[in-house]
Chains A and B, each alone.
Chain A
Amino acid sequence: MEDRVIEVNFGPQHPSTHGVLRIKVKLDGEIIVDAQPVIGYLHRNAEKLAEMGSYPKGLVYIDRLDYVSALNMELGYVLAVENLMDVQVPERAQWIRMLMVELNREASHLIWLGTHGLDMGMLTPFFYCFRERERILRILDEITGSRLLYNYFAIGGVYSDVTAKSLEMIKAWTDDFVLKLEEIQSILGKSYIYVSRTKGVGVLTADDVLSYGVTGPMQRASGIKRDLRKNSPYLFYDQINFDVPSRTEGDVYARFLVRIEEMRQSAKIVAQVLEKIPQGEFYNKKYSKPMLVRLKTTGESYVPTESPKGEYGIHIIGDGSSIPYRVRIRSPSFANLSSLPTMLKGYKIADLTAAVSSIDPVFGEVDR
């Protein structure tokens, strides 16, 4: 029987690897016997480079980790550094951060939804999602001056204030985004082909989830309802009213539903932040730009945050100089992707793209 097993190489260039993932798949006919991911094709030595420059300089590399939600990445870093140096952040800056992070989460999930549609053989959701995403990017562009990688959060606040025009843009966006989302969801969710290709595919049980350290929407789709924004709130998430969606099936379809619901909740958070955002400083004046480079600190800090992919945090160790001694990135995609062999074993080869794209891996973050 053994000689019936053939080995197929998948990637590192393949339209549905979401980057540079390579999977060595062992097949018995159409059934996947074993699938071992090979990573490292985008290893950009972010951790080493962050140890080679001052604290604010590290933000450049952190930005480029999960490049579809760069603001979420920045947040983890600035929170850790601020915690390490006891930097006070003005209230308005924290509310702006929340606003931006949620907008970026929407953009990230929209990219996932579009490419997930592509992987399942549907071109339409891609264009619908990119149309909506461009609207969010225009807002972020208006506030930060950049479309994808922002370098917007600074130690002690944010680099520029939100303008009245941008707030109006966000208001207009929140008003009809949920309707647009309904439309996109119905393209996939009401398609018989999509549902039958995803239901019961790539199942991860709650035990597997804990054993692999899987977090984020994947964890919540497997029945473990844990969201850091709710369970250990940072910024002002405790003053916001939102739900944490969860499912128990643990398959690709459950992850689809969880992410869609998360987008709805994010829009809800954005609408509430708009009402609550106070007037005041957007920046701690004590930490102006030339000051930042000379910041020195000692001690350790790890601040976990909820990125679109899962629990993300940065463990920083300072040795008293102006350069961090060690920057260690806890990247959710890395742990999520390591569960792939379990997710694929026993399924058909055609389920592979569905399972891989349901992880939503971003290789800047997996390989760092």
Chain B
Amino acid sequence: MIPVESETSTKNGIKIIYVAKENILQYLKEKKDEGFDTLLMISGVDYKDHLEVLYHLLSSSSNTHLIVKTKTNDEVDSVTSLWKGADWHERETWDLVGIKFKNHPNLKRILLADGWVGHPLRKDYPMDKKQYVNLGEDGEDRVSYEKTEGY
């Protein structure tokens, strides 16, 4: 049994469980064996002093939801070995919140252009500093801070 750090719930009664980040892969594996067979989404929240990763699990047989959270500063273990769908969700969390996932097969930006600077859903992301995208010779994206370099 993996120790649980603390337990709360959302307003409508979905359980929220905090687990230490070293144990997250083991804990989710345990939960998957218990019947939480679907990973609905992975998301990240920036709390200024730390980052949190949220895993929304669902047991499709009993139709119960469960939210597992872990606190981190930069990286956690990837869960792509448990659910194939975790691939895109982790890429998105890396792209927008800037949480690294250890042992992810293909951790690169998914929604923003390759080469984008910063992670927009961080609270300290500079919204007034615009970035511009253009196509390079090879057909891939180029990002720059110069307005003349792109759109």
Question: How many whole Å from A331's CB to the nearest CB in chain B?
Answer: 8
Query: Which B residues from 84 to 140 make CB contacts under 8 A with A?
Result: 84-85, 87-89, 92, 96, 109-113, 120-121, 139
| Interface residue from A213, A226, A303, A368 paired with B83 (Cβ < 8 Å) | A213
Residues of A within 8 A of B37 (CB): 210
Closest beta carbon of chain A to B87's beta carbon, Å: 7
* Chain B residues in 8 Å Cβ range of A213: 38-41, 83, 85
Interface residue from B54, B63, B87 paired with A232 (Cβ < 8 Å): B63
Check A317–B45 contact: CB distance below 8 A: yes
Q: How far is the CB of B31 from chain A (nearest CB, A)?
A: 14
Q: Which residues of A contact B112 (CB under 8 A)?
A: 40, 43
Distance between B126 CB and nearest chain A CB, rounded to angstroms: 12
Which residues of chain A are within 8 angstroms of B16 by Cβ–Cβ distance?
300
A231-B85 Cα distance, complex, nearest whole Å: 23
CB distance A47 to B121 under 8 Å?
yes
CB nearest to A311 among chain B residues: B40
Contacts of B10 in A (CB 8 A): 299-302
Say whether, besides A213-B40, A326-B45, A339-B85, A302 and B121 are in contact (CB < 8 Å): no
- A330-B56 contact given A213-B38, A303-B12, CB 8 Å threshold: yes
In the complex, chain A residues whose CB is within 8 Å of the CB of B87:
338
Residues of the B chain whose Cβ atoms lie less than 8 Å from the Cβ of A368: 111
Q: Tally of A-B residue pairs with Cβ under 8 A?
A: 93
On chain B, which size bracket covers the interface? 35 or more
Instruction: Give the residues in chain B near A304, CB-CB below 8 Å.
Output: 65
Q: Is the CB of B41 within 8 A of A335?
A: yes
Chain B positions within 8 Å of A303 at CB level: 12
Q: Which positions 33-53 of chain A face chain B at CB distance < 8 Å?
A: 39-40, 43, 45, 47-48, 51
Q: Is the CB of B63 within 8 A of A302?
A: no
How far is A315 from B42 in the complex, measured between Cα atoms in Å?
Answer: 11
Tell me how far the C-beta of B6 lies from the nearest C-beta in chain A, rounded to whole angstroms.
14
Does B67 make an interface contact (CB < 8 A)? yes
Instruction: List the B side residues contacting A338 at CB < 8 Å.
Output: 84-85, 87-88
Residue of B nearest to A317 (CB): B45
Shortest beta-carbon distance from B63 to chain A in Å: 4
**Cβ B38 vs Cβ A210 within 8 A:** yes
Task: Report if A288 contacts B (CB, 8 A).
Answer: no
- Among A211, A301, A311, A325, the residue within 8 A (CB) of B85 is A211
CA of A3 to CA of B83, assembled, Å = 32
- Whether the pair B43, A299 counts as a contact (CB closer than 8 A) is no
Query: In chain A, residues 204-262, which have Cβ atoms closer than 8 Å to a Cβ of chain B?
Result: 208, 210-215, 224, 226, 228, 231-232
A86-109 interface code vs B (CB 8 A; 1 in, 0 out): 100000000000000000000000
Q: How far is the CA of A6 from the CA of B110 in the complex (A)?
A: 23
B23 to chain A, nearest CB (A): 22
Which parts of B32-53 form the interface with A (CB within 8 Å)?
37-41, 43, 45
A300 neighbours in B (Cβ, 8 Å) = 10-11, 16
Asked if A84 lies at the interface with its beta carbon under 8 angstroms from chain B, I say: yes
For the complex, give the distance between the alpha carbons of A334 and B43 in Å.
Answer: 13
Given the interface pairs A40-B113, A213-B41, A326-B45, the reply to whether A48 lies near B120 with Cβ below 8 Å is yes
Write out the residue numbers on chain B whose beta carbons fall within 8 Å of the beta carbon of A9.
139
C-alpha gap A212/B60 in the complex (Å): 13
B4 in the interface (beta carbon within 8 A): no
Across the interface, B110 reaches (CB within 8 A) one of A39, A47, A226, A335, namely A39
Which residues of chain A are within 8 angstroms of B83 by Cβ–Cβ distance? 211-213
- Cβ–Cβ contact B12 & A302, under 8 A: yes
Docked complex: A194-211 residues within 8 A CB-CB of B: 208, 210-211
Q: Is the CB of B110 within 8 A of A40?
A: yes
- Identify the closest chain B residue to A298 (Cβ): B11
Cβ of B14 under 8 Å from chain A: yes
Instruction: Determine how close the nearest CB of chain A comes to the CB of B53; give it in whole angstroms.
Output: 12
Q: Does A83 contact B12, Cβ atoms closer than 8 Å? A: yes
**Interface residue? A74 (CB, 8 A):** no
Shortest A223–chain B CB gap in Å is 11
Offer 15 A-B interface pairs, CB within 8 angstroms, sorted by A. Answer: A39-B110, A40-B113, A208-B84, A210-B37, A212-B83, A213-B40, A226-B60, A231-B63, A302-B12, A303-B12, A311-B40, A326-B45, A330-B56, A338-B87, A339-B84
7 A-B pairs besides A328-B41, A367-B111 with CB distance below 8 A are A39-B110, A40-B110, A43-B112, A210-B60, A300-B16, A301-B11, A304-B65
